[in-house]
A and B are shown apart, each in its own frame.
Chain A
Amino acid sequence: MSALEAVQAVLAAEHAAVYGYGVVGARVGAARREEAAAGLAAHRALRDAAARAVRDLGGEPGVSAPAYALPFPVADADAAVRLAAVLEDRVAGAYADLVRAASGAARRDAAAALREAAVRAVRWRGGGVAFPGLAERP
Chain B
Amino acid sequence: MGRSGLTRRRALVTAATAAGVPGVLAGCTGAGTGGGGAARPSAAEAARRAELALLRRSAAVSGVLLAGYDEALAAHPAALGTRLAPLREAAARHVAALTPPGERAPATASTGARTGSPDPGAGSRAPGTGSPDGRTAGPDAGAGPPGAGTASGAGAAGVAASGASAGGAFPRGVPAEPGAALAELAALASRTAAAHTAALVGAPPESARLLASVAAAGAAQAYLLGEGGRG
Contacts and interface: CB of A to CB of B under 8 A. Distances in A.
17 contacts: A95-B212, A96-B212, A99-B208, A100-B208, A108-B201, A111-B215, A114-B212, A114-B213, A118-B217, A121-B220, A128-B221, A128-B224, A130-B90, A131-B93, A131-B214, A132-B216, A134-B213
A133 B213 contact: yes
A122 interface: yes
B219 A96 contact: no
**For the complex, would chain A's binding face be called helix, strand, loop or mixed by DSSP majority?**
helix
B93 A130 contact: yes
B90 A115 contact: no
B60 interface: no
B160 interface: no
Contacts of B219: 115, 118-119
Contact of A129 (B97, B208, B210, B217): B217
A123 B228 CA distance: 7
Given A107-B208, A114-B212, A132-B216, A123 B93 contact: no
A127 interface: yes
Task: Say which size band chain A's interface belongs to.
Answer: 20 to 34
Interface of A: 92, 95-97, 99-101, 104, 107-108, 110-112, 114-115, 117-119, 121-123, 126-134, 137
B200 A99 contact: yes
Interface string B144-175: 00000000000000000000000000000000
Contact of B97 (A95, A114, A127, A137): A137
A100 B204 CA distance: 8
- Nearest 5 pairs of A and B residues by beta carbon: A118-B216, A130-B90, A100-B209, A99-B212, A111-B212
Interface residues of B, number: 28
A114 B214 CA distance: 10
Contacts of A123: 223, 228
B23 interface: no
B59 interface: no
A110 B205 CA distance: 13
A114 B209 CA distance: 10
Contacts of A121: 220
A5 B143 CA distance: 56
Contacts of B209: 96-97, 99-100, 133-134
A119 B93 contact: no
Give the residue among B90, B93, B216 with the most A Cβ atoms within 10 A: B216
Interface in B17-60: none
B115 interface: no
Contacts of A131: 93, 97, 210, 213-214, 217
B216 A100 contact: no
Nearest to B222: A119
A115 B93 CA distance: 18
Contacts of B197: 108, 111-112, 115
B216 A92 contact: yes
Contact of A128 (B90, B200, B206): B90
B193 interface: yes
